[in-house]
Amino acid sequence: MNKEMASLEQKQTPSDEELMLNIREGDLAAFEQIVLRHQAEAWHVAYRFTGDAAEAEDLAQEAFLRILDAASRYQPTASFRTYLFRVLNRLCIDQVRKKRPIATDILPQSADDRPSAIQRVSDRERDAAIQTVLDSLPPNQRMAVVLRYFEGLSGSEMAQTMGISTKAVERLLARGRKALEQRLKHLLDD
């Protein structure tokens, strides 16, 4: 009986693509659902890219507003997540062109996760070093690293998101990894 209920619940939960088709028809409740499903990961990508929580929130909101504005032209040729990351990618790259990103001292910590004070200081130092190195990468390399290692996108998803070939993604990742390894060698040795 629980399997039947779970199956029924899955059937009642529309896919992202179905929600986008509903949004295309003017269903703002569907837009609210899509935002609730993906706002955290959109913020996370933008935060990892910019290093600034407020700026990440602005970029994530702008991405959703652009998606809403373009809903009438939406075609489900790729997953919605890929579509969202593509819009966010463009916004992040444009933001970098406008100003140089700011390195952060602290990554936000979950209120439920309370490591020791020593661990928090160590984590802050490590996170600040990683963010500083991420900020020093060229924008396309930085986005490739964020999408692959922080968001777990596949090479083909990244290629669609960034509007480049899979080979170009592989080259960006290789250069990004090399730069990260060289600049974070002291952390890797510990």
Q: What sign results for the dihedral spanned by CA atoms 150, 153, 154, 156? A: negative
Q: What is d(CA 95, CA 102) in angstroms, rounded to the nearest whole number?
A: 12
How far apart, in whole angstroms, are the C-alpha atoms of residue 2 and residue 31? 30
pLDDT, position 111: 46
Asked if 76 and 24 count as a contact pair (C-beta separation under 8 A), the reply is: no
CB neighbourhood size of 63 (10 A): 27
Query: CA 107 to CA 11: how far, in whole Å?
Result: 38
Name the token pair of 116: 């020791």
pTM (global) more than 0.75: no
Confidence at residue 114, expressed as pLDDT on a 0 to 100 scale: 58
- Which whole-number Å values give the CA distances from 154 to 65, 75, 82, in the listed order? 26, 21, 10
pLDDT at 42: 94
Q: How far is CA 9 from CA 13, 15, 28, 33, in A?
A: 6, 12, 22, 15
Q: Do 166 and 156 touch, CB atoms closer than 8 A?
A: yes
Rounded to an integer, what distance in angstroms lies between the CA atom of residue 149 and that of residue 133? 14
Each residue's pLDDT tens digit, 125-181: 777 777 888 888 898 998 998 889 888 889 999 999 899 999 999 999 999 989 888
Position 91, amino acid: L
CB count in 10 Å sphere of residue 170: 14
Nearest-5° Cα angle at 168, 163 to 170? 120
Q: Cβ distance 169 to 177 under 8 Å?
A: no
Q: Which domains does the chain have, with CATH numbers?
A: 14-189 (1.20.140.160)
- Over residues 39-86, the pLDDT tens digits come to 999 999 999 888 889 999 999 999 999 999 998 888 888 888 999 999
